[in-house]
Structure 1
C-alpha cells in the first residue's frame, strides 16, 4: 500500500493497570502488532520493516500478534514469516489467527506451521505461560470459526488469577464479560480506517447515512454495498475500552484496504504492565 493511502506508521504507548499483578511483572513491556494483510498490496515492505525495528528497539518482554497475516491465499505467509523471524522478545512471540487466516480449507494449518517454524507460538483455544503461572496468556480461536469456544478455555483459570486474552475480533469482549479479562488484545477493525476528528470512527456515521439510501440504489454503487457488518461494536474500533469489569485494547493494524486511511494511521502498540 502506498504511504499516501496508508499514512506513516504510528507508535501507541500505554500503561495498563492489572489487579493482583505480581511485583515481579510490574513494568513488563508487551508489543502488539495486528492485521498485516501481507499480500503484496496492502502492506509495504518499508512499513513492515519499520514496525519490526520499532518493536525490537523497545526490547519487549513479550511480542503478541493478533491475526490476519494474509488476506485470502495463505501462500504469502511464507515470505512474511521470513521477515517476522527478525522480531526479538525476551519471553517469546505468541499469536492468534484472524478470520482471513482461515479462509480456505488448509489456511489455518499452513499459516500455523509457517509461524511455528520461526518460533512464533500460535494459540488456538489454548493457555500459555510465557511470563509465568501468575499471568496466563489465553489465545482464542477466531470468532468466525466453529471452534470458537471461550467456555472450555476460560473455565480452566482460577478467577483470582489475572490474565491476558488474545482474540482477533473485538466483538468477543461482549461474550468474555462472563469471565475475568484483565486485558484483551484485538485487531480486525483497522481502526475503521477513516476517522472524523472530534467525532470518531467514520463507519458509525457512514452506516447511518447509507441506510437511508434505497437498497436497490445501494447495490449499484461501489462501497455502498458494504454495510461493514463484519463487526458489531464499531464504537470499539480502536484504543482502550472498559467493557464491564474487563479491559479491551484494539490495535489499528498495519495493513490497509482501499480507499485508504484518514486520521487513522497503522500502529505498533507498546504496553507497559503496572500493578493496580
Structure 2
C-alpha cells in the first residue's frame, strides 16, 4: 500500500517521490493551513501552522520507528482445547527498501517479537518495495525470529516485483523467485494458495495462505478455492478452526465473510495511510476495513497497520506488531 499522499498510485519506488512526499508534509500542507487560517487571525494561523509542521517533522524523524505492540484475543468454540491460549504474532508490510540499512529498527522488531514467545509467527505480505536485493541487509537479522511452530508468510502486491523500473516478465519472475528463496533461507515458509495443519497432541488447526487478492488497481494473483481444497476434503463436515493469511483486507468481504467457515483472517496492506488522528485517517477513503479488528457472523478480521511504509513517516498510525491469543470459548467474544 502506498503512503497517504498517493493511496491510489504506487509512486514510492522512486527516491525522488519520497523527497516530494516529505516536501509536501513539511512545506505544502503547513503553507496551505496558514493560507486558510490567516483570514481568521494571523496569530492563530501562525500557531496552528507551527504545530502542524512540528507534528510532521516528528513523524518523519521519530514517528516511523515508534513500534507498538498490540495484544488481542480471539474466542471460538471451534478451537480445539489443545490450542487454548495459543499465541500468534503477526508481522506485515516491512517494505525493507524504505529503510536502506537501518539495522537497529529491524533488530528491535525481532527482539520484541521473540520476547512475546509466540507459538506461531506469520508475515502477511509486502516484504519489499520493488526488488529482492532489498532483503540482503536484513536476512541475517530476520532469520533470528523464533516460534515453536515456525514462521509462515504470504506475498503482498509489492512482492511480485511489479513496481520497479523493469516491467519485463523475466525481471518479475526473477524477483519473485529470489524473494521466495531468500525467505526459505531465513527459515520462513511461503504459503502460495495452500494450507498446512498445525498439531497439538492429537488435535489440529489449519493455517491458510493465499497470494495477493485485491481490487483494482492492485493485482489479483491468488485462488482461495485452491487453498481450501485440501481442507474441504479432510474436514468431512467438521468445522475445524482455520486461520487465513490474506494481504489485502478487501478480500475478507469479497470471498471470506459468510462465504466460508474461516474463523480468523489476518491482513495488512493499508498502513492506516501512515497518518491518523484518533479515528480520522485518509485510509478510510480507500478501505472499509482500514485497521484494527472487525467481527461479523462470528468471523474475525484483524488488519495490522504494518511495520514499514512508502517512506519513513508515521504519525498516529504507528508501526505495530500484533499478538493474537486464541481461546476456546462458547461466548463468541472477540477483544
Return closer, same or farther for 1:111/1:142 CA change in 2, 3 Å cut-off.
Answer: same
Per the TM alignment, residue 89 of structure 1 is displaced from its structure 2 partner at its CA by 0.7
Give the SS at the match of 1:106.
helix
Q: Does 1:101 align with 2:159?
A: yes
CA contact (8 A) 1:196 1:202 kept: no
- Choose from 186, 201, 208 the match for 1:138: 208
1:115-166 alpha-carbon deviations (Å, 9 max, x no partner): 0112101100011123456211000011155541111222432351110000
Where does residue 192 of structure 1 map in the other structure?
273
- 248, 260, 270: which one aligns with 2:323: 270
Alpha-carbon displacement from aligned partner over 1:187-226 (angstroms, at most 9, x marks no partner)? 11112211122x332333xx5xxxxxxxxxxxxxxxxxxx
Q: Deviations over 1:71-102 (max 9, x none)?
A: 01121123332211010111111110111000
CA distance in 1 between counterparts of 2:174 and 2:198 reads: 28
Whether 2:219 is the aligned partner of 1:166: answer: no
1:181 corresponds to: 262
Give the superposed CA RMSD: 2.1
1:8 has 2:78 as partner = no
Cα distance in 2 for residues equivalent to 1:167 and 1:271: 16
- 2:249, 2:100 → 1: CA distance? 21
The match for 1:153 among 227, 232, 255 is 227
Which residue in 2 is equivalent to 1:257?
310
**Partner secondary structure for residue 270 of structure 1:** strand
Tell me the TM-score normalized by structure 2: 0.69
CA deviation digits over 1:208-260, x for unaligned, max 9? xxxxxxxxxxxxxxxxxxxxxxxx5x231111111444211111111033482
Residue of structure 2 equivalent to 1:85: 143
Structure 1: runs of 5 or more not aligned:
208-231
Matched, 1:19 2:77: yes
Larger helix percent: 2
Q: 2:293 aligns with which of 236, 240, 264?
A: 240
The Cα shift of 1:42 comes to 7.3
CA pair 191-203 structure 1, distance change in 2 beyond 3 A: closer
8 A contact 1:63–1:93 mirrored in 2: yes
Structure 2, unaligned stretches of length 5 or more? 1-58, 162-171, 330-335
Q: In 1, Cα distance between the equivalents of 2:327 and 2:229? A: 25
Range with bigger deviation, 154-163 or 186-195: 154-163
1:69 deviates by 0.7
1:117 aligns with 2:173: no
Normalising by structure 1, what TM-score?
A: 0.83
Counterpart-to-counterpart distance in 2, 1:243 and 1:80: 38
